[in-house]
Chains A and B, each alone.
Chain A
Amino acid sequence: AQSVSQHNHHVILSEAASLELGCNYSYGGTVNLFWYVQYPGQHLQLLLKYFSGDPLVKGIKGFEAEFIKSKFSFNLRKPSVQWSDTAEYFCAVRGNAGNMLTFGGGTRLMVKP
């Protein structure tokens, strides 16, 4: 069975600080990887996804993520966060055995102005 682990449950940063959120997954086969963001009271929105090719993926709003296959990781980064990035971030994995997404527990990010 596949699983996803997000080690940082709560992160507090000041504006302009750099962000890196960790995501590790457990799955033996080919995976598709996703990062979603959930702003307060809103639906899950896709930040970026990795299916194949260049392991450094760029997404919306200045976010990027790097797939490191040897470490089973897909960490999310942003060089300079803004107050508007305050939200909950979810890493998710889809294995090749089906169409289901397995989510991590989420990381709640608070950016102080």
Chain B
Amino acid sequence: ETGVTQSPTHLIKTRGQQVTLRCSSQSGHNTVSWYQQALGQGPQFIFQYYREEENGRGNFPPRFSGLQFPNYSSELNVNALELDDSALYLCASSLVGSSLHGYTFGSGTRLTVV
């Protein structure tokens, strides 16, 4: 089975710019979640997409938005980048509907905002 792939692996952006991160979910999974992991901290839940709609959101402002496509891949968009947005962004896929479902994480995109 394929895992979760994220692109790009590293990215440098300037404050105020916009960025799009991409994620291909594991084969057979129908849900994608995004997490932000700041340096030295645990991942924090941004939002989740199921059936191409957002169905859960953490404590992140509206400038963090996303999409899920019919093939279950996903994008995370961040507008008006701030220095504090510098972090590792993780994508995780899962199969909602399976009673014992877990998550498969990608290797992440390291975003640096300067």
Check if A46 sits within 8 Å of B107, measured CB to CB.
no
| Cα distance, A106 to B35, chains bound together (Å) | 15
| Cα distance, A42 to B20, chains bound together (Å) | 22
Is the CB of B102 closer than 8 A to any CB of chain A?
A: yes
Interface residues on B, range: 20 to 34
Check if A42 sits within 8 Å of B107, measured CB to CB.
yes
With A43-B106, A46-B102 known as contacts, the answer to whether A103 contacts B33 (CB < 8 A) is: no
| Cα distance, A69 to B23, chains bound together (Å) | 36
Check if B102 sits within 8 Å of A106, measured CB to CB.
no
A-B contact count (CB 8 A): 56
Is the CB of B25 closer than 8 A to any CB of chain A?
A: no
Decide if the interface of chain A is mainly helix, strand, loop or mixed. loop
- Of the candidates B40, B55, B103, which one forms a contact with A101 in the assembled complex, judged by CB atoms under 8 Å apart? B103
| Cα distance, A46 to B40, chains bound together (Å) | 19
Check if A49 sits within 8 Å of B90, measured CB to CB.
no
Chain B, residue nearest A42 (CB):
B107
Check if A43 sits within 8 Å of B108, measured CB to CB.
yes
| Cα distance, A7 to B57, chains bound together (Å) | 27
| Cα distance, A10 to B99, chains bound together (Å) | 35
The interface residues of chain B lying within 8 Å CB-to-CB of A90 are 42-43
With A34-B102, A49-B102 known as contacts, the answer to whether A100 contacts B90 (CB < 8 A) is: no
Q: Nearest-CB distance from B100 to chain A (Å)?
A: 6
14 A-B pairs, CB-CB below 8 angstroms? A43-B90, A44-B43, A44-B90, A45-B105, A46-B103, A51-B100, A99-B31, A99-B55, A99-B94, A99-B96, A100-B56, A101-B35, A103-B43, A104-B42
